């Protein structure tokens, strides 16, 4: 943890095997005590029988020691597994349906509070595309962290250019045009639609979006499922595009926030269907520290209620795509903004972003009447030969600065 002073440990000699844990790894240290020596040494050659007896005793001692170490190691594995199970239980209690990792079997000899769950036939395969992506991200991020340690990223952040005001850009666009501020998405493909644009030039598309009146841009950085990449984010930022940039990534680890900042992001996406309240709170603090905006995405009323109970959120995205069926229904936006939830959002002057299923001026008018002040749109404009005209067609008129 930051701010803690490392304690220098003095070497300690022990006569029996001991188990040490440091930085989430386990190491076994053994020391063999030497002979005590007096000033006067009386030496008598040991008999062959006594040597064999000592060797036998040593083998038995080492065998017992090895068994003891293995027992301690298994105890540690059980405790680590139980921690994972407790985290999963916490997520379930908050209504989170996305499992962060594939189900794992209990260590050998486990007996405890999760024993009954071992008999449940929990699916070993992902239950939907978001869960599949989340499982893959856990593996991918572990690999990327080895190549780009957090300490290196923190130093790179210090030299990174300042971020642009993502929230401010949306408010200004809403005020200037009278329409929801547009977050235009730079996206080559999606799991549900396949390839959206064959001749994909992220910089060219981003420049056309900016010229067409987009307030901000969303850049897909996932390579496996969306054929995106952080190189696209970097290229757009380096090309001089002035629109603030949202790093559209599936965040499962704080490391990803730092990495996005070093690649030119001004904002990141946090998905309530994947992250617990505590995780969202912690990630928001990192975002604030790095001067990044955070778009917190919800899918249903329970997630909206959770998010409204978390301090420090300015941007809430309502995704109209069902996690179970993958069908899109823009009336989901209206439903989530009715009643108490809508009242709290208005009182706190939060910006609600409508996501998914927006293709026509009537769609924009519908979600705007429901209370959104921004929209995130990708497919309906990226597929156009002229994205600038695609934006005008989406809103029913030209919303560019000219």
pTM of the model: 0.78
- 16 in active site: no
Is the separation of the CB atoms in 78 and 86 below 8 Å? no
Catalytic residue of the set 303, 355, 373, 388: 355
Residues lower than pLDDT 50 in the chain: 1-46, 51, 62, 119
Burial class (CB in 10 A: 0-12, 13-18, 19+), 226: buried
DSSP string covering 231-300: HHHHHHHHTT--S-EEEE----STHHHHHHHHTT-SEEEEETTTS-HHHHHHHHHHHHHTT-EEEEEE-S
Q: What is the mean pLDDT of the chain?
A: 84
User: H or E element: which one contains 97?
Assistant: none
Instruction: Measure the CA angle with vertex 311, ends 308 and 312; round to 5°.
Output: 110
Domain segments of the chain: what residues? 138-395
The pLDDT of residue 66 is 54
The pLDDT of residue 322 is 87
Strand 351-355 to 245-248 pairing: unpaired
Architecture of the domain spanning 138-395: Alpha-Beta Barrel (3.20)
Give the chain's largest Cα–Cα span: 105
- 185 in active site: yes
The pLDDT of residue 304 is 98
Catalytic residue of the set 131, 140, 185, 210: 185
Tokens of 124: 């070993």
Q: What are phi and psi of 324, to 5 degrees?
A: -80, -50
Instruction: Count the alpha carbons within 13 Å of 65 in the hemisphere toward its beta carbon.
Output: 17
Burial class (CB in 10 A: 0-12, 13-18, 19+), 317: buried
DSSP string covering 11-25: P---SS-EEEEETTE
Residues with Cβ within 8 Å of 375's Cβ and at least 6 positions away in sequence, in order, are: 180, 181, 182, 183, 353, 354, 355, 358, 364, 367
Residues with Cβ within 8 Å of 372's Cβ and at least 6 positions away in sequence, in order, are: 180, 318, 333, 337, 352, 353, 354
- Residue 196's nearest CA partner among 383, 388, 389, 360 is 383
Catalytic residue of the set 248, 263, 334, 373: 248
The pLDDT of residue 2 is 44
Catalytic residue of the set 232, 319, 332, 380: 319
* CA quadruple 172, 181, 323, 267: dihedral, nearest 10: -40
- 319 in active site: yes
The pLDDT of residue 5 is 39
Which CA distances in Å does 139 have to 133, 174, 252, 261?
10, 40, 10, 21
Is the separation of the CB atoms in 317 and 294 below 8 Å? no
User: H or E element: which one contains 108?
Assistant: none
Catalytic residue of the set 356, 373, 380, 388: 356
Residues with Cβ within 8 Å of 313's Cβ and at least 6 positions away in sequence, in order, are: 284, 294, 296, 307, 350
Catalytic residue of the set 137, 187, 188, 197: 187
The pLDDT of residue 75 is 78
The pLDDT of residue 77 is 75
- Residue 237's nearest CA partner among 209, 213, 217, 222 is 217
Tokens of 74: 């298994």
Is the separation of the CB atoms in 215 and 373 below 8 Å? no
């Amino acid at each position: 943890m930051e701010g803690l002073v490392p304690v220098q440990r003095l070497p300690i000699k022990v006569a029996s095997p001991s188990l040490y844990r440091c930085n989430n790894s386990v190491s076994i240290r053994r020391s063999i005590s030497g002979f005590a020596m007096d000033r006067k040494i009386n030496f008598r050659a040991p008999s062959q029988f006594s040597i064999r007896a000592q060797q036998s005793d040593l083998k038995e001692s080492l065998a017992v020691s090895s068994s003891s170490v293995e027992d301690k190691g298994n105890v540690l594995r059980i405790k680590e597994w139980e921690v994972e199970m407790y985290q999963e239980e916490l997520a379930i209690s908050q209504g989170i349906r996305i499992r962060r990792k594939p189900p794992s079997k209990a260590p050998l000899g486990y007996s405890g509070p999760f024993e009954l769950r071992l008999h449940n036939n929990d699916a070993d395969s992902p239950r939907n595309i978001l869960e599949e992506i989340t499982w893959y991200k856990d593996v991918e991020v572990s690999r990327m962290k080895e190549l780009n340690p957090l300490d290196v990223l923190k130093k790179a952040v210090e030299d990174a250019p300042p971020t642009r005001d993502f929230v401010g850009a949306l408010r200004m666009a809403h005020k200037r045009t009278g329409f929801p501020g547009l977050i235009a998405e730079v996206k080559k493909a999606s799991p549900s639609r396949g390839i959206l644009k064959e001749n994909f030039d992220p910089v060219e598309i981003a420049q056309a979006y900016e010229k067409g009146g987009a307030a901000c841009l969303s850049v897909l950085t996932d390579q496996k499922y969306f054929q995106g990449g952080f190189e696209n984010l970097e290229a757009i930022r380096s090309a001089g595009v002035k629109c603030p940039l949202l790093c559209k990534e599936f965040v499962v680890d704080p490391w990803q926030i730092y990495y996005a900042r070093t690649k030119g992001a001004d904002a990141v996406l946090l998905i309530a269907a994947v992250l617990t309240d505590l995780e969202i709170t912690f990630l928001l603090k990192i975002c604030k520290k790095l001067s990044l905006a955070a778009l917190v995405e919800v899918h249903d009323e329970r997630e909206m209620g959770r998010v409204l109970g978390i301090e420090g959120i300015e941007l809430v995205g309502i995704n109209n795509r069902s996690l179970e069926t993958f069908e899109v229904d823009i009336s989901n936006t209206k439903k989530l903004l009715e009643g108490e939830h809508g009242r709290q959002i208005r009182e706190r002057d939060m910006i609600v972003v409508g996501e998914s299923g927006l293709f026509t001026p009537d769609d924009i008018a519908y979600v705007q009447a429901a209370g959104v002040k921004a929209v995130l749109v990708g497919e309906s404009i990226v597929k156009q030969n002229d994205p600038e005209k695609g934006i005008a067609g989406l809103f029913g008129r030209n919303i560019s600065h000219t």
